[in-house]
A and B are shown apart, each in its own frame.
Chain A
Amino acid sequence: MRRVWKIIVVIPFFFWMTGCWDRVEIEERGFVVGVAIDKPLSAKGKEELTKEAPNKPQAKNRYAVTYQIVVPANVTKEGVGGGGSGGSGKGKASMNITSEADSIFEIGREMSTRTSRTPYFEHLKVIVVSEEVAKTGELPTVLDFFLRNPEMRRGTVMLISKGRAKDVLEVEPPNEKLPAIYLQSVSRNTFKAARMEPIVRIGKLQGFMLSKQSYVISAVSPSEKEVKIAGEAIFHSVDNKMLGYLNEEETEGQNFLRGKVKGGLLKIPVKDNLVTYEIKREAKNIKAQIQGKDNIHFTIQIKSEGNIAESMVHLDFLQPNRIPNLERLVEKEILRMTQDSINKIQKDYKADVIGLGEYLENHHHDFWLKVKDNWDQGENYFSKCKIDVEADVRIRNVGIIDHAANQKE
């Protein structure tokens, strides 16, 4: 009798011991690696929807979202070149699916009705938003889904595309299989080029939006085989609207001002030709003299260390005055560039993307509380303050050729 009872007690256990409820086999998962967000090309979708279901709730805006999904079978296949575009291109390592709706989440779910795989976002690498969407100030609404969903990572790279965002995911890089991975790698190369904004991760972006700071996001322009990340889109703190672009020069200047240069080069004119200075290290230090709300004087000290990477003029680098002179020239170049970007940022866009507000908040907290609401909006004290730049450059190494042609001098 005892045995019978034991068996009766045990049997119900089988019902929930059947294994994982949430199991999705790996070959059934659709790994989404890239997302591109555009405005719909025409208003047709909306009209149709209104006709079909006039009372269905609708959001203010509609988006055309492209998901890039990995096709695992083709990633490892040898001899298959290129990443992919289009729905059914054979042998491609990824496929792009575009769908249109007013909710980004809905588009994701709709996708599972169109492919055999359920979308899975844990490995999302890059989100591209078109400038069209960015200019309307809808960035926070668009990103809400990506920040809210527990599947997402805050390390996803964020890019703004010049033109349609979908085109960026359609590039076919010859050396990489997945366009999204390609984009991620390119955007990580900041240590080679000072004109690239250090990558913006969506987690950081949320920080900017919540702390009401103006911010910049790398801009990317697509072509058929490759993309180019250069320059950046500048966003205003208040409405998150994209104001415009900083070109490569101004981006570089802005990077210097923020102390974010990780590498890259500066070309300095010597005689009638060029000497190239390779930036190895860069740091900034801000000082502020505050004499009232309208009279704030910032001094940004930029320190840099680097090498001579290339010289198109024949110079004897061992001459005692040579290096100090070159250092002064590099300093001059830094000052020129930073001044250009200050002019653009402060006078044209009037949006503080140099981090001066953050500096005031951290070091002059009481004063900051007074100007906070009118910093780069309203009264815009930011546009009225005076910004000076000082540069201090050390050339550490001149390369192996010393006396190239000193006889010419």
Chain B
Amino acid sequence: MKNFQYGDEHIGYKEIFFGVSAMVIGQGILTLPRILTEKTESIDGWMCIALGGLLAIVSAWAIAKVSSYYPNQPFTDYVKVLVTKPIGIFLIVFFFIYSVGFVGFEVRALAEGTKLYLFDRTPVEVIALSFFLVIIYAVSGTRVALLRLNLMFTPIVLGVTFLILLMNLGFVERENFQPLFVSSWKSILNGTKDTAFSFLGGEILYFYVALMRNPKQAPKAALLGMIMPVLLYIIIFLSVVGLFGPEVTREIMYPTVEMAKEVEVPGAFLERFESLFNTVWIMTVFNTASMGYDLCLILITSLIRKGKRKTWIILLSPFIYLLGLIPKNMNQVAKALDYVGFMGIFISFILPFILLLVVALRKGKNYA
């Protein structure tokens, strides 16, 4: 007898699946082909994505697994039980710093990118502010609404991306796919390290699994949700390098956007196809950043239990916005995102296994 099904504060399998995908697909996709061709020879970078992706898939599964042991409890609750209160609080603070940095620099990076391609004369500060205001508006609503937005945006993003890939197929040159397997193992591992930054995003599972009606489904949803971006990144990487060749990919700031610019619609009546790509790209970053901001709020309200969600939004927003404006240029933004990324790597790829181990040990004790 549920007439108004979506009115409740619970989510299902689909929300987790698309949530993870939307969180992972983001800024990284624009520069990843360049970074990988810098580090590896020829077209071998796809192996880095595959390796990094595998790590991300396993970690996402682990996070969901740990969280599903504690139904309806978010990370902020169960971590204190799991690893004692002081360590738990330290982890929450660490996590909070990470997500604040993540949102701030993500907003800045988006502003820089759109300025380059779309808003030549608009100051970065203004682009960042208007984008950030929309994010603030999004997080002011309910958390579940935020997750359901992913269901709407992600298919559009995937659709447009595949359309662009399809239309570029004619320009892909076979010569660029050779030679294969010429990079050293060292450089492959080195590149894998960089893909790890692009696959951050599984951390949302620490919190959103608690909202699930049936948390047992979480590990599978997380697994599949992570496989999607991994496959997408591999396909995009192969087409970008197939299109430009490794030498050119190395030199382009945002190779993926350039790929979108390459599209020539037959008949030449639609020339600026990349505007579509820019739109969906802003949508993905919006999803990513708003979920990131939501994490900040969950974490801070769990630390300091006073104040409403709205109050915290008003208090945090100026701080996050100004933080994003600190880097002086594009290179510094990338560097800042790297530093934040290192924290993220701990949270997303190392912490879940530690927690899983602790869970296993505790269980052993209980049942012994």
B250 pairs with A365, CB closer than 8 A: no
Which residues, 101 to 138 on B, are CB-close (under 8 Å) to A?
A: 116-122, 126, 129-130
The verdict on A21 contacting B122 (CB below 8 Å), with A16-B129, A206-B251 known, is yes
B-side interface residues, number (CB < 8 Å): 26
A16 pairs with B264, CB closer than 8 A: no
Residue B216 interfacial (CB < 8 Å): no
Residue B271 interfacial (CB < 8 Å): yes
Q: Which of chain B's residues have a CB closer than 8 A to the CB of A203?
A: 244, 248, 262
Residue A89 interfacial (CB < 8 Å): no
Give the nearest-CB partner of B254 in chain A. Answer: A150
Residue B8 interfacial (CB < 8 Å): no
Which residues, 124 to 178 on B, are CB-close (under 8 Å) to A?
A: 126, 129-130, 175, 178
User: Shortest Cβ distance from A2 into chain B, in angstroms?
Assistant: 16
Give the nearest-CB partner of A366 in chain B. Answer: B182
Query: Complex formed: what's the CA distance from A206 to B247 in Å?
Result: 9
A22 pairs with B175, CB closer than 8 A: no
B179 pairs with A363, CB closer than 8 A: yes
B121 pairs with A22, CB closer than 8 A: yes
Q: Which of chain A's residues have a CB closer than 8 A to the CB of B271?
A: 122-123
User: Shortest Cβ distance from B270 into chain A, in angstroms?
Assistant: 12
Residue A249 interfacial (CB < 8 Å): no
Residue B272 interfacial (CB < 8 Å): yes
User: Shortest Cβ distance from A111 into chain B, in angstroms?
Assistant: 16
The verdict on A154 contacting B251 (CB below 8 Å), with A207-B245, A361-B179 known, is no
Q: Which of chain A's residues have a CB closer than 8 A to the CB of B126?
A: 16, 21
- In this complex, the member of A21, A150, A361 whose beta carbon has the largest number of chain B beta carbons within 10 angstroms is A150
The verdict on A362 contacting B248 (CB below 8 Å), with A21-B126, A22-B120, A150-B117 known, is no
Contact with A along B18-32 (1 / 0, CB 8 A): 000000000000000
Contact with B along A122-151 (1 / 0, CB 8 A): 110000000000000000000000000010
**Option from A16, A122, A206, A358 in Cβ contact (under 8 Å) with B175:** A358
Residue A211 interfacial (CB < 8 Å): yes
A154 pairs with B121, CB closer than 8 A: no
B179 pairs with A365, CB closer than 8 A: yes
Residue A45 interfacial (CB < 8 Å): no
Contact with B along A360-375 (1 / 0, CB 8 A): 0111010000000000
Query: Complex formed: what's the CA distance from A358 to B272 in Å?
Result: 33
Contact with A along B232-269 (1 / 0, CB 8 A): 00000000000011011011000000100110100000
Query: Complex formed: what's the CA distance from A123 to B271 in Å?
Result: 8
User: Shortest Cβ distance from A32 into chain B, in angstroms?
Assistant: 14
Q: Which of chain A's residues have a CB closer than 8 A to the CB of B248?
A: 203, 206-207, 210
The verdict on A22 contacting B118 (CB below 8 Å), with A16-B130, A122-B272, A210-B250 known, is yes
B178 pairs with A154, CB closer than 8 A: no
The verdict on A211 contacting B245 (CB below 8 Å), with A16-B129, A22-B120, A123-B271 known, is yes
Q: Which of chain A's residues have a CB closer than 8 A to the CB of B182?
A: 365
Contact with B along A147-171 (1 / 0, CB 8 A): 0001001110000000000000000
Query: Complex formed: what's the CA distance from A277 to B231 in Å?
Result: 47
**Option from A16, A21, A154, A355 in Cβ contact (under 8 Å) with B119:** A21
Q: Which of chain B's residues have a CB closer than 8 A to the CB of A206?
A: 248, 251
A211 pairs with B247, CB closer than 8 A: yes
Q: Which of chain B's residues have a CB closer than 8 A to the CB of A154?
A: 258, 261-262
Contact with B along A112-123 (1 / 0, CB 8 A): 000000000011
**Option from A16, A153, A211, A358 in Cβ contact (under 8 Å) with B261:** A153
Q: Which of chain B's residues have a CB closer than 8 A to the CB of A365?
A: 179, 182
Contact with B along A200-226 (1 / 0, CB 8 A): 000100110011000000000000000
User: Shortest Cβ distance from A362 into chain B, in angstroms?
Assistant: 4
User: Shortest Cβ distance from B308 into chain A, in angstroms?
Assistant: 17
B179 pairs with A207, CB closer than 8 A: no
B121 pairs with A21, CB closer than 8 A: yes
User: Shortest Cβ distance from B233 into chain A, in angstroms?
Assistant: 22
User: Shortest Cβ distance from B259 into chain A, in angstroms?
Assistant: 9
User: Shortest Cβ distance from B188 into chain A, in angstroms?
Assistant: 16
User: Shortest Cβ distance from A33 into chain B, in angstroms?
Assistant: 12
Q: Which of chain B's residues have a CB closer than 8 A to the CB of A362?
A: 175, 178-179
Give the nearest-CB partner of A209 in chain B. Answer: B247
Give the nearest-CB partner of B257 in chain A. Answer: A150
User: Shortest Cβ distance from B58 into chain A, in angstroms?
Assistant: 33
**Option from A21, A207, A355 in Cβ contact (under 8 Å) with B244:** A207
Query: Complex formed: what's the CA distance from A142 to B100 in Å?
Result: 44
Q: Which of chain A's residues have a CB closer than 8 A to the CB of B251?
A: 206, 210
Query: Complex formed: what's the CA distance from A365 to B184 in Å?
Result: 13
Q: Which of chain A's residues have a CB closer than 8 A to the CB of B244?
A: 203, 207
Contact with B along A11-32 (1 / 0, CB 8 A): 0000010000110000000000
Query: Complex formed: what's the CA distance from A211 to B248 in Å?
Result: 8
User: Shortest Cβ distance from A322 into chain B, in angstroms?
Assistant: 36
Query: Complex formed: what's the CA distance from A365 to B117 in Å?
Result: 38
Contact with A along B197-216 (1 / 0, CB 8 A): 00000000000000000000
Q: Which of chain A's residues have a CB closer than 8 A to the CB of B258?
A: 154
Query: Complex formed: what's the CA distance from A118 to B15 in Å?
Result: 47
A150 pairs with B250, CB closer than 8 A: no
Query: Complex formed: what's the CA distance from A361 to B180 in Å?
Result: 11
A155 pairs with B118, CB closer than 8 A: no
Query: Complex formed: what's the CA distance from A332 to B200 in Å?
Result: 61
Q: Which of chain A's residues have a CB closer than 8 A to the CB of B262?
A: 153-155, 203
**Option from A150, A210, A363 in Cβ contact (under 8 Å) with B247:** A210
Q: When A and B form their complex, which 6 residue pairs have the shortest distance between CB atoms, in order from nearest?
A: A362-B178, A21-B122, A210-B247, A211-B247, A207-B248, A365-B179
9 residue pairs A–B, Cβ–Cβ below 8 Å: A21-B122, A21-B126, A153-B261, A154-B261, A155-B264, A203-B262, A207-B244, A207-B248, A358-B175
User: Can you add 4 more A-B contacts, CB < 8 Å, to A122-B271, A206-B251, A210-B247?
Assistant: A21-B121, A207-B247, A361-B179, A365-B182
